[in-house]
Amino acid sequence: MPEPIDFYFDFSSPYSYLLSEKIDALAARFGRSVRWRPILLGAVFKASGSAPLTLQFAPKASYSVLDFQRSARFMGLPYRHPDVFPIASQYAARACYWLEETQPAQARPFAQAVFRALFVDNTDISSLDSVLEIAARCGVDLDSLAAAVQGPALKARLKTEVEAAIAHGVFGAPYIVIDGEPFFGADRLPQIERWLENGSF
Amino acid sequence: MPEPIDFYFDFSSPYSYLLSEKIDALAARFGRSVRWRPILLGAVFKASGSAPLTLQFAPKASYSVLDFQRSARFMGLPYRHPDVFPIASQYAARACYWLEETQPAQARPFAQAVFRALFVDNTDISSLDSVLEIAARCGVDLDSLAAAVQGPALKARLKTEVEAAIAHGVFGAPYIVIDGEPFFGADRLPQIERWLENGSF
């Protein structure tokens, strides 16, 4: 069995949302699985000296919002730029790791529901309540989840994952690694497809 | 006749080189011409608070060099990352505007020769001598060119072009504008193609 493809993402990243809607089906066509690894871009940008696109130079910021929407149309996906943006995603990220540890079958549907809540339904996903509400729709036991995402173990787990990602060279999201080869950005999807087809190019 | 497509680029930008090899033929398929507009990313980055990719956070810098090379292979183009990088491109940019003013038929072949000198043949294009040598191969009168690119008129012309680009919202290169719609990056080529096909999407 080949190693899973690593998919580093932040729930608050528009291009991560776009890639999240495509990567599993693409990988499956080549008999590959995908390891979803939520990270926090805030910590990554602190390490790299960068910032969210929409907080950068004004022309770049406004182009970015146009490009999120146009790229979504290009990829055949719905997109509604959130009113709250950028947005904190640590509860969602911790919940994702907790599900992976305790109810792995629920982790992927939950992650997809979080992305769609933010980028299709304009939900403020930063609050614990929103995250619990999304989890409830995925059939998750809310009392255990609420305790876990506020506890020290999950905080530490997410911190470790983010630090490991940065140490691995992740400088933004989405960031895909296939057998050691890194691909940054949803717009690298055609290159990812060719890499999976040919092993390299 | 529709307006020409605007192609803002810096001769020292790898992704500008990649797009420069494709944009004319693509535009021609849709009956469109392309206005090549050399700018200086140094001035753009000063306005935007950015920096060349290879001088950014180390993991991003090394990924960028990998991506220049891989994107070139993906697009079927030769690429040899230059030993001198980033590199000053003001003589080449001024020469390009001078040719456009005085011998327009030579401007495009000269610009393509500059890009290939830098990104295929590893030529240091920053010196006046290199630019003259490339121009000579394109059948340009060197005495007039040498005087022009060192004179105040061309310096002022390039400065005006760069300031106009920044005022227009250009925050990096390559930057394409089709009937008011902006596209940033060589990786937007498939979106540019669909835009030309459909008027919008």
Per-residue pLDDT of B43-59, as tens digits, reads 999 999 899 999 999 99
> pLDDT tens digits for A67-107?
999 999 999 999 999 999 999 999 999 999 999 999 999 99
Strands B34-38 and B5-9: parallel
Residues 48-87 of B with CB under 8 A from A: 48-50, 56-57, 59-60, 62-63, 66-67, 70-71, 73-74
What pLDDT score was predicted for residue A186?
98
The tokens describing A8, both together, are 């580093």
Strands A181-184 and B5-9: unpaired
What pLDDT score was predicted for residue B199?
85
Report ipTM (2 d.p.): 0.96
| % of chain B at pLDDT higher than 70 | 100
Does B1 score more than 90 pLDDT?
Answer: no
DSSP states of A12-34 as a string? Answer: T-HHHHHHHTTHHHHHHHTT--E
* CB-CB under 8 Å, A56 with B170: no
* Dihedral class, residue B193 (left if φ above 0, else alpha if ψ from -120 to 50, else beta): alpha
* CB-CB under 8 Å, A67 with B190: no
Low-confidence ranges of chain A (pLDDT < 70): none
What pLDDT score was predicted for residue B174?
98
What pLDDT score was predicted for residue A152?
97
What pLDDT score was predicted for residue A121?
98
Give pTM, 2 decimals. Answer: 0.96
